[in-house]
Structure 1
Amino acid sequence: MKHCLLFIYCFILVSCTAEQQNPNFLETALASKDISIKRVMDNIEKYQVQIRYTQIDRRNDSVLFTDYDFQVSDSVYFYPASTVKFPTAVLAMEKINQTDTLTIHTKYYIEGDTIESTVADDVNEIFAVSDNLANNRLIEFLGFETINQSLKNKGIAPVRLSHRLGFHSEDLRTKPIIIYLNDSTTGITQPILNKTPKPLALFEIEKGKGYYENDEYINEPFSFKQKNYYPLSAQHNLLKRIIFPENFNLNEQFHLNKEQRDHLLNAMHTVPKEMGYDKKEYYDSY
């Protein structure tokens, strides 16, 4: 694709004070003569870079954020790819708490599928190897309407998740889930009918020069109007709520218990080999 997107997401924890930190850190970094940076900065329109650098200062019991932005815009579209798996993982954990009989270790499977899983395992697979099937299972558990509304209710907007990832069905209806309640009984969820997503009206919503559909090459840019929309500002706001929940009002927080939050934070930094994956095929940065 001629107009490819370079998406750089910077969230840097800084221990020094605001007075010690160079306030033009981002500007200085982007002015570097390093060939990798200079190539992008000399072709801004081609790469469509968006960067948010956040300085974090701790004063007594307070945590203060100072954002430095470069071309961050909710109106300029980029395809969020697998970053949408983060909110799906968090919201699935939170939904577990709505039922006393469920935990993140409760086994379940999707009707018509043979894979048994747990939310804990799905979260591990999402962060270790960016597993599409694990994400899609949680989509069936939540439904798109619940995902989008829950994020908006917590002040994380704009956002619109509208499709599963990888090889999947475009069916708007979720599949029933069979849950093992104990050794002798199971429960089954009802399908959720999601609304047809409204076309996005954003800048740069069409990408590339051509694309394949049903093995046929279509010689025109691909439209992302019906695709997932999860801009940098929304991603940033979700991450802050996970790392620093105490900085937000209760209605803006994700209500995870200690076991759930510890599991999530651990999964976020665990490399594939520590999850049991073959270290040659699934290298550390896989």
Structure 2
Amino acid sequence: MRQSSIFFLFYFFTLPIYGQARTDTYLANLLNTNTSPIFRQVMQQPEKYRLQIIYTQINRDKANRPSFTNYYFRVDSTDYFNPASTVKLPLALLSLEKLNLLNKPQVTKFTAMQFDSAFSGQTKEWTDQTAQSGYPSVAHLIRKAFLVSENDPYSRMYEFVGQQQINRSLHAKGYPDTRITHRFVRMTADENRHTNPVRFIAADGTLLYTQPAAYNTDPFDFRRPARLGKGYYVRDSLVKQPFDFTTRNKLPLESLQQILQSALFPESVSEKQRFNLTANDYQFIYQYLSQAPGETNYPKYDGQKFYDSYAKFFFRDSLHHLPDGLRVFNKVGWAYGFLTDASYVADFRNKVEYMLTAVIYANSDEILNDDKYEYDTVGWPFLYQLGQTIYQHELRRKRAYKPNLSRFKVRYEKRQEDDRPVVTEVDN
């Protein structure tokens, strides 16, 4: 019996170990075809790497209407992972939705906004020199959150939407197991319940709209503990007990995949799951989920450091380029040893499309906050191999009808040559 077959049998005879985790034979067999050493290493110990994968096949009918079939590997909403920057996706969608619900035509995603402070820990942000206008805006926050996954824009969107509205909205849209509790700066639980006053101003400084400070009175459900690892560092001191994620952000993998699907294919989900976005909002989202940092004028990111596949984990190889004619509409996250990517892949040259969402935990010493995670040696190489396994399969897969992908054809920017300094360092 071949080694790959041995692994396949071993995994399925030991399935009860993983409790309620869902695994489909179709996907397990497909993953079993990859013989890369790093891929085999992870696949032979999926519980150690807290691996979860969702592969979504998209098939079109004669009228180009898509249907979606999800295949799972170890997917379990009770198996906690830190979602890190993937939470920037729902925050961006909720920020656009809030603007539309304000119903103030003068206040758009491009309108200049300013953040004041009104409670302990809060900070002001009145200008942004990386923006063409010199001011923050919802559009510019989303650009920075998507292109290279900057952290401050997430915190500002959190402050604009408000902790209470974020969670109420996500729960109402059918994601009751999500939990957004904090900014990406060090603050207490009570400080995170308070969000800043925000104002929108016209180009001449005229006040267009002001939003007062807010406080979330809704309780969170922290009954399910989430403690990981053998120890963690607090500054230079090692605490020899598991790190407690019980009150941290939570975004289960299936919810993340569904939120991305709802943003790209809103008609494929129920009305209550859709975000209240305009046609222009959708085009904006499509552009900045898939545009390369080096194509972007504002912010002017260093295209060498923030290369095309920088935030495209399933195509992040040593060449740093995506295949010709292919775009990835996605959101990634990395923190505490977890690497996550939720992607929609559109290959315009070969007429191929699919979704792939996965998380891996690359932290073999089980110590958190020590900056000794195996992102480079295990995490990213594995996700690249996973991406190639699914992509090559999709290139071969027979379809009754080839997709018309014109909906996702985006007019991307062309970097202008000017004397502005490039952005080389960001907090992400």
Q: Which residue in the other structure is 2:291 paired with?
A: 270
Between the two proteins, what is the percent identity of the paired residues?
A: 31
Q: 2:224 aligns with which of 201, 206, 214?
A: 201
CA contact (8 A) 1:200 1:226 kept: no
Query: Is residue 241 from structure 1 mapped to residue 246 from structure 2 by the alignment?
Result: no
Aligned-residue offset at 1:156:
2.9
Write out aligned runs for 1:1-286 (5 A): 24-61=26-63, 62-99=65-102, 100=104, 101-111=106-116, 112-115=124-127, 116-165=135-184, 167-170=185-188, 171=191, 172-181=193-202, 183-186=204-207, 187-195=209-217, 197-202=220-225, 205-213=226-234, 215-275=236-296, 276-284=300-308, 285-286=310-311
Mapped to 1, the partners of 2:290 and 2:98 lie a distance apart of 23
AA aligned opposite 1:225: T
Counterpart amino acid of residue 57 in structure 2: Q
Distance change in 2, residues 1:259/1:169 (3 Å): same
- Distance in 2, matches of 1:216 and 1:175, equals 33
Looking at secondary structure, tell me which structure has more strand per residue: 2
Contact 1:206 1:223 in 2 (8 A): yes
Alignment length, in residue pairs?
Answer: 261
Give unpaired runs (5+ residues) of structure 2: 1-24, 117-123, 128-134, 312-428
**1: CA distance, partners of 2:305 / 2:109:** 28
Distance change (3 Å), C-alpha of 1:261 and 1:200: farther
Contact 2:83 2:249 in 1 (8 A): yes
Amino acid paired to 2:152: L
Distance in 2 of aligned mates of 1:236 and 1:41: 21
Q: Separation in 2 of the partners of 1:49 and 1:39?
A: 12
Structure 1 stretches lacking a partner, 5+ long: 1-22
Tell me the distance in 2 between the aligned counterparts of 1:126 and 1:271. 13
The CA distance in 2 between the partners of 1:126 and 1:40, in whole Å, is 30
Q: Distance in 2 between matches of 1:237 and 1:274?
A: 28
CA distance in 1, matches of 2:302, 2:258: 34
Distance 1:155 1:102 in 2: 28
Superposition CA RMSD, Å: 1.9
Task: Return the TM-score normalized by structure 2.
Answer: 0.58
In the alignment, the residues of structure 2 paired with residue 27 and residue 226 of structure 1 have an alpha-carbon distance, to the nearest angstrom, of: 37
Q: Deviations over 1:67-116 (max 9, x none)?
A: 11011011111111110000000110111112223100010111133433
- What is the Cα deviation at residue 214 of structure 1? 5.1
Q: Distance in 1 between matches of 2:182 and 2:205?
A: 34
Task: Say if 1:31 and 1:38, in contact at 8 Å, map to a contact too.
Answer: no
Question: Structure 1 residues 55-64 or 231-240, which shifts more?
Answer: 55-64
Is the CA contact 1:161–1:229 (under 8 Å) kept in the aligned structure 2? yes
TM-score calculated relative to the size of structure 1:
0.85
Query: Which protein has the larger Cα radius of gyration, Structure 1 or Structure 2?
Result: 2
| Over 4 Å off, 4+ runs | none
Pairwise CA distance, 1:181: 4.5
Q: Report if the CA contact (8 A) 2:27-2:73 is conserved.
A: no
What's the CA shift for 1:215? 4.6
